[in-house]
Amino acid sequence: MPSVRLRALAENLLGHDRIRRMGRSQLIEAVREKLESSYAPVTIYLSDETSHAGVQSAVEDLLENAGLVIEAREDPVIGSWFRRIWVGLGRAMRSEAVREGALTAAHVADSRLILAQDATITATLLQNLGPVLASLDSTKDAVLRVGALLIVKVEWTVNVFHLTAAQQARLDHRPQLATSPQEVIQALGLAATDPDT
């Protein structure tokens, strides 16, 4: 029997009629497919779980300031600390900046429109990044991804990257990279800051 929480999430995302006869494994798969196709993943990995509450709170504030709405949260993986959050565009699509970008790009292909919206949302996220970076002070290693924005902390050094569409696709297809600061930088061909140079 599926949990009440899983059934409620599935009903919210898929509708009551569609989930009525589904078992637990079918619900999980249907919810996962819907989230992956309709919402953007936000991932938080911390090598040490002690500061997870402050980091998650700062990330959620960042999302709210950018007009992104949290649609679902996966349970955190404890030990180190990892959590996946799924966001919808929510108010971001109604913001003046995104509307303006959408109007300007209306005559071009859909892919260019999506890139313009992505760039606008990323610019908004970057403007409000201070509290998130401060929340990482007590964590040695971390990986946070919010759409095209990737924050990687390796050996106490923080790097902020704006991912290309190709890098985002690579990360989407290799989600395990979101739990390895050194590997994600290598796999995506990113240049990390070297504190010794």
Report the alpha-carbon distance of residue 64 to residue 180 in Å, rounded. Answer: 26
- Structure confidence by residue, pLDDT tens digits, 113-155: 445 556 667 777 878 889 999 999 999 999 999 888 899 999 9
Which residues neighbour 50 within 8 Å (Cβ) at sequence distance 6 or greater?
138
- pLDDT above 50 for 94: no
Q: Could you tell me which residues come within 8 angstroms of residue 68 by beta carbon, excluding any fewer than 6 positions away?
A: 40, 87, 88, 89, 90, 91, 92, 121, 146
Specify the residue for token string 């950018």. 66
More confident residue, 85 or 38: 85
Query: What are the pLDDT digits (tens) for 17-51?
Result: 888 888 888 877 777 777 666 677 889 999 988 88
Provide the pLDDT confidence category of residue 110 given band limits of 50, 70 and 90: very low
Instruction: Give the DSSP H/E element, type plus range, for residue 32.
Output: helix 24-38
Would you place residue 107 in the very low, low, confident or very high pLDDT band (cuts 50, 70, 90)?
very low
Provide the percentage of residues in the chain whose pLDDT is more than 90. Answer: 26
Please state, in angstroms and as integers, the Cα–Cα distance from residue 13 to each residue in 10, 26, 42, 44, 84, following that order: 5, 14, 18, 23, 17
Q: What is the pTM of this model?
A: 0.66
